[in-house]
Amino acid sequence: MAVDIKQIRAQFPALHQEVHGHPLIYFDNAATSQKPKMVVDAIAHYYNKENSNIHRGVHYLSQKATDKYELAREAIRRFINAPSTEEIIITRGTTEAINLVSSCLSKWLFQPGDEIIISAIEHHSNIVPWQMACEQSGAILKVIPVLDSGELDMNAYRNLLSDKTKFVTVNHISNALGTINPVEEITSLAHEKGALVLIDGAQATPHMSVDVQSLNADFYCFSAHKMYGPTGVGVLFGKKEILEKMPPYHGGGEMIKEVKFEGTTYNDLPFKFEAGTPNIVGGIGIEASIRFIEEIGIENIAQQEAELLAYATQRLKDIGGIRFIGEAKEKAGVISFIIDGVHPYDAGTILDKLGIAIRTGHHCAQPVMDRYSIPGTMRASFAVYNTKEEIDTFIEGVQKVKQLFT
């Protein structure tokens, strides 16, 4: 094993507790990961010693807080290999990043009859903002279908693309199925038609190396809380030449250069898109979470999770009577499945009583459930701190559920 699991687990106080009298097994990492001590300490240290508003005071603390926030922006830039910090907008998370882009493009780019392409395996946060954009602008939503395997139908995608296509957006990794989408190919095909592209990387940045320059998407977004960082903060990367042309999202402090009643001029990038006092400590928390990931190495994290995925998939297959939802060749550490004849909610409730946290339901991807004609799935999703021993206990739990209900 490439990573020292014991040493990693020691950094997560939340993992060392009992739930319903059993040691906690936390397999709900696609919803949010647990936080290492270094992230919690960075947040506590900021509030204990450095708290101040940023970008406005001449005093010591304000300058210190500003420096730390801007260092966090630089760490984010390096983490995704963006060309410039002007292209790194700190948001409330993936959801806000997508709403920012959809709202600004509705005002600026989309015309009646234009087409926006999304995929059939998006999280609701990459569906609803585009439906709203269509309502506002008269654009039309098109959906790339998904094959039984959980892979996108790339032939159908090629056929959907046309001169009317203005925008394409897909997730990098599906939260409901674990499918890793061919985002470079999707992006370059869209660019051939002159369309802009946004990649929802919420499930990717915790698990794989992301280089926005080689992906070449126009926008890329993610949330800190799925990558060992705090909740309510995330990132929108956007290409400078597009961000410069885009109108602002929210109005207020920070995003202006000069305000007069006759009219206002807007601030330079990235501040034009960061109205109001930002989540300063959130930015500092992202920096700490990136440090945590980089100390282990994202390739080592990916390898550890791939081993867990392969092991858990095989052990579930060996039980029998399990239907896997999503069996793409390229998959991240997410297993969505159903035990024949057992409602996912009942199964999840019993596993919870055994101290095992998995997700059950539609995972904010209702169209995926409709596609497979199921009410929901059981979803186990892994992080670097999970172990094969935990999977063994989980398998015993699944067997217990099966015995009880079938």
Catalytic residues: 364
Token pair listed for 52: 């101040």
Residues 248-287 that bind ligand 7TS (CB under 6 A): none
Residues 19-78 that bind ligand 7TS (CB under 6 A): 30-31
Choosing from 68, 73, 77, 123, the residue that interacts with ligand 7TS (CB under 6 A) is 123
DSSP 238: E
User: 65 or 101, CB closer to ligand 7TS?
Assistant: 101
* Least distance from ligand 7TS to the Cβ atom of residue 399, Å: 25
Interaction of residue 125 with ligand 7TS, rule CB under 6 A: yes
Distance CA 242, CA 83 (A): 14
No. of helices (H) and no. of strands (E), the chain: 14, 17
Interaction of residue 289 with ligand 7TS, rule CB under 6 A: no
Radius of gyration of the chain (CA): 22
Identify the CA nearest to 214 among candidates 176, 196, 187, 249. 187
- Span near ligand 7TS by CB under 6 A; candidates 90-98, 162-170, 255-263, 303-311: 90-98
* Least distance from ligand 7TS to the Cβ atom of residue 30, Å: 4
Interaction of residue 364 with ligand 7TS, rule CB under 6 A: yes
Choosing from 11, 29, 34, 95, the residue that interacts with ligand 7TS (CB under 6 A) is 95
Cα dihedral 53, 57, 58, 64 in deg (nearest 10): 10
* Least distance from ligand 7TS to the Cβ atom of residue 194, Å: 26
- Span near ligand 7TS by CB under 6 A; candidates 51-59, 121-129, 144-152, 292-300: 121-129
Distance CA 329, CA 299 (A): 19
* Least distance from ligand 7TS to the Cβ atom of residue 94, Å: 4
* Least distance from ligand 7TS to the Cβ atom of residue 57, Å: 30
Cβ atoms within 10 Å, residue 299: 11
DSSP codes of every residue in 124-168: GGGTHHHHHHHHHH--EEEEE-B-TTS-B-HHHHHHH--TTEEEE
Interaction of residue 313 with ligand 7TS, rule CB under 6 A: no
- Span near ligand 7TS by CB under 6 A; candidates 122-130, 181-189, 253-261, 338-346: 122-130
Interaction of residue 208 with ligand 7TS, rule CB under 6 A: no
Per-position x/- string for 3-22, each x denoting binding to ligand 7TS as judged by CB under 6 A, each - no binding: --------------------
Total residues in contact with ligand 7TS, by rule CB under 6 A: 16
* Least distance from ligand 7TS to the Cβ atom of residue 119, Å: 11
Per-residue CA distances from 359 to 131, 217, 272, 310, 344 (Å) = 27, 30, 38, 19, 9
* Least distance from ligand 7TS to the Cβ atom of residue 329, Å: 19
- Assign residue 138 a region: left if phi > 0, alpha if psi is -120 to 50, beta otherwise? left
Distance CA 140, CA 281 (A): 39
Per-residue CA distances from 117 to 123, 169, 297, 313 (Å) = 14, 6, 34, 32
Token pair listed for 206: 């915790």
User: 169 or 267, CB closer to ligand 7TS?
Assistant: 169
Choosing from 36, 77, 86, 93, the residue that interacts with ligand 7TS (CB under 6 A) is 93
Token pair listed for 235: 């990132």
Choosing from 223, 304, 313, 360, the residue that interacts with ligand 7TS (CB under 6 A) is 223
Per-position x/- string for 164-203, each x denoting binding to ligand 7TS as judged by CB under 6 A, each - no binding: -------x---x------------------------x-xx
Distance CA 98, CA 172 (A): 14
- Assign residue 315 a region: left if phi > 0, alpha if psi is -120 to 50, beta otherwise? alpha
Distance CA 172, CA 186 (A): 10
* Least distance from ligand 7TS to the Cβ atom of residue 376, Å: 12
User: 65 or 380, CB closer to ligand 7TS?
Assistant: 380
Per-position x/- string for 127-166, each x denoting binding to ligand 7TS as judged by CB under 6 A, each - no binding: ----------------------------------------
- Cβ burial 227-252 (10 Å sphere, 16+ → b, else e): bbbbbebbbbbbbeebbeebebbeee
Residues that bind ligand 7TS (CB under 6 A): 30-31, 93-95, 123, 125-126, 171, 175, 200, 202-203, 223, 363-364
